[in-house]
Structure 1
């Protein structure tokens, strides 16, 4: 132990391989020590104590994943309690039992939680649903106004306070009743879902990082919140945007390099030591970063137009309460198509109310479900440029799974595997 230095290797994590062959990321002890201290220092420099010894964390993230690793390191520094359970289908149930003050997660979990509440309110209908819509509307207006978007007068604030007491406080109970905030990373969170959590009184603070940057690179502080942004770089980390829009990073949290792969290491560092993230980004006048897409996932249609699939996919998941996944496809094609999967519990509940019986496969192939999903696709298309619009789609007979390696353990799409498994469906999208 005494012979171990900050520059000795602490962790070797192989990237999840959403594109290309996984590479071993070498993270020395330096990066974890830095992450723990900069998390505290960054919050204090913003005049806040984001985490304290009195917090309680719920941790579901894979412990061999860089984000899960970071949220095992932080309680060692702060001393707060952590409850661990990796069963994804039990997360929402566990929140009510553990009653955490915060949780870090990939966006998919927040999407499922939001869709679950929305489906429950639609099922109740009547005055209950109307009260819920009223409370969310006023709570959202106050939350947005308090973070620099729009205005909320005294009457709106009074309504928001009343709505919180009689409606939204009960929604928070589904999440344990003690959550001060959540942290979202790994992919972009749909802005509408972010606004909903803010309205309900459990803001989702978006952060950003990669395995190569030890997960914690930027984080939204409550006072600097802005929907759609992943916050400012943590203290000690430099960030800038290259001429082609790629985000570049430099600082103590960056890896030593890829294990036994000097060629790949050389490719991702600039001459002045900045790490090429592979993400396209914008930085606003307050230093807050917005990630628009993965550089490698951008594709060009045969008409020469660029499309950013991840943004379209997250927007759809926020619009459609029964959606599980959307995979946007159109590289070198005349138009853009999509594969869609539906959330088993959500679509089964909807089908029961609509009087549709049968297995999941039978339900999702029904004309009623195609009509439902088609309406949300139309709603999505209204927000997109003409060349980005989904011209055709197919609802798959099953959801994507980690076991089949179609999504990573942190719930990112593995596009190459999906393309192999659903090649027939993809070709059907582009038949004349």
Structure 2
């Protein structure tokens, strides 16, 4: 949402509408007119000469991709890869605006899909399966100290790396799909699937991607507990929006930690996040049935690489979070009884 007069807000919304229309025609930017009167200042924030943007590490929503291309007048493409494969192993083609895909493999990458029967992802059912990345960019394995070998690392090397037809592959744990044009879509993650009591699988990262689109959400962590029928979500809220919401509900306070536990605030946030999930197209069993809102003691995000709840690439350490926030998780599930 633009900060400024009603005229500025109207012009910005019209520019974005033009950008969305151009996006659907396989173009980028808002067009010369809107660039000149609206977007030029935004483009100047990054130098004004950006020709290409790439996104990795986490899924890029269609909404954000359209927004970036509209504002910065350049293509924004998703890439895919892992530390173990020396970074980028696939990247979307510059001329292709199609969302939710990471393009074909790079020229040095072999890609295979391996059946994962437990999750019912089978190659015969629409070219789906676990993504294996192979070729010269794949590392030799995780380092084992010859003076003090770690059995868990030895086992991990045996599980995560395989050789097929003389090609060494890294088993990513990601579930992929290859479409008719040879583009890869990352649709799930083996470790991030929750199987509910009714047997339905919920992709936790998919739910988190939907929650991230809410202005109230800084970092989401969706969790499921064995034996339960639904998932719950721990949310590290966006503090400025949290304070603004409290003010709008006639409960003004600058104490973000206190606001995270006020019933009226929790209710309003939960309703807003549930609506965001529905807007993103999640079906009923995928939507968290309870939310808890958490921050660090200094009202900064609850999870960061510094406190060891996120990896250096900003990925959730879900088991670590689940252990540290057991009381909040217990309370969330108790509220459903």
Could you list the per-position Cα deviations for residues 212-236 of structure 1 after superposition, in whole angstroms to 9, with x for gaps in the alignment?
Answer: 1011211123123421111211112
Cα pair 1:302 1:331 within 8 Å, conserved: no
Cα pair 2:217 2:237 within 8 Å, conserved: yes
Q: What does residue 199 of structure 2 align with?
A: 304
The 5-angstrom pairing of residues 140-159 of structure 1 reads 140-146=20-26
Q: What does residue 112 of structure 1 align with?
A: none
SS in 2 for 1:222: coil
Q: What does residue 359 of structure 1 align with?
A: 255
- Of residues 225, 233, 236 in structure 1, which corresponds to 2:105? 233
Q: What does residue 147 of structure 2 align with?
A: none
Query: Which moved further from structure 2: 255-264 or 211-220?
Result: 255-264
Indicate yes or no: 2:12 matched with 1:132: yes
Shift of 1:364: 3.8
> Partners of 1:402 and 1:235 in 2: how far apart?
33
Q: What does residue 52 of structure 2 align with?
A: 181
Cα pair 1:365 1:397 within 8 Å, conserved: no
> Partners of 1:351 and 1:427 in 2: how far apart?
25
Could you list the per-position Cα deviations for residues 360-405 of structure 1 after superposition, in whole angstroms to 9, with x for gaps in the alignment?
Answer: 2234445357415522322313511221122111111442222211
> Partners of 1:426 and 1:371 in 2: how far apart?
19
Where is the helix percentage greater, Structure 1 or Structure 2? Answer: 1
TM-score (norm 2): 0.81
> Partners of 1:364 and 1:133 in 2: how far apart?
32
- Of residues 290, 293, 302 in structure 2, which corresponds to 1:395? 293
> Partners of 1:376 and 1:338 in 2: how far apart?
10
* Bigger relative contact order, structure 1 or 2 (CA pairs below 8 A, ≥6 apart): 1
TM-score (norm 1): 0.64
> Partners of 2:268 and 2:83 in 1: how far apart?
41
5+ unaligned residues in a row in structure 1: which ranges?
A: 1-117
Cα pair 2:113 2:131 within 8 Å, conserved: yes
Q: What does residue 421 of structure 1 align with?
A: 324
- Of residues 210, 219, 224 in structure 1, which corresponds to 2:96? 224
5+ unaligned residues in a row in structure 2: which ranges?
A: 117-128, 145-152
Judged with a 3 Å threshold, the aligned counterparts in structure 2 of structure 1 residues 129 and 373 are, in CA distance, closer, same or farther, namely: farther
Shift of 1:250: 1.6
Q: What does residue 133 of structure 2 align with?
A: 249
Shift of 1:300: 0.7
Judged with a 3 Å threshold, the aligned counterparts in structure 2 of structure 1 residues 263 and 396 are, in CA distance, closer, same or farther, namely: closer
Could you list the per-position Cα deviations for residues 275-322 of structure 1 after superposition, in whole angstroms to 9, with x for gaps in the alignment?
Answer: 32111011112221111122111121122111101111112112x123
Shift of 1:160: 4.2
Shift of 1:267: 2.0
Judged with a 3 Å threshold, the aligned counterparts in structure 2 of structure 1 residues 254 and 178 are, in CA distance, closer, same or farther, namely: same
SS in 1 for 2:43: helix
Indicate yes or no: 2:219 matched with 1:325: yes
> Partners of 2:310 and 2:333 in 1: how far apart?
24
Indicate yes or no: 2:36 matched with 1:165: yes
Cα pair 1:139 1:164 within 8 Å, conserved: no
> Partners of 1:352 and 1:277 in 2: how far apart?
45
Indicate yes or no: 2:238 matched with 1:340: no
Cα pair 1:141 1:199 within 8 Å, conserved: no
Which 4+ runs in 1 deviate beyond 6 A? 352-355
Cα pair 1:225 1:231 within 8 Å, conserved: no
Indicate yes or no: 2:87 matched with 1:193: no
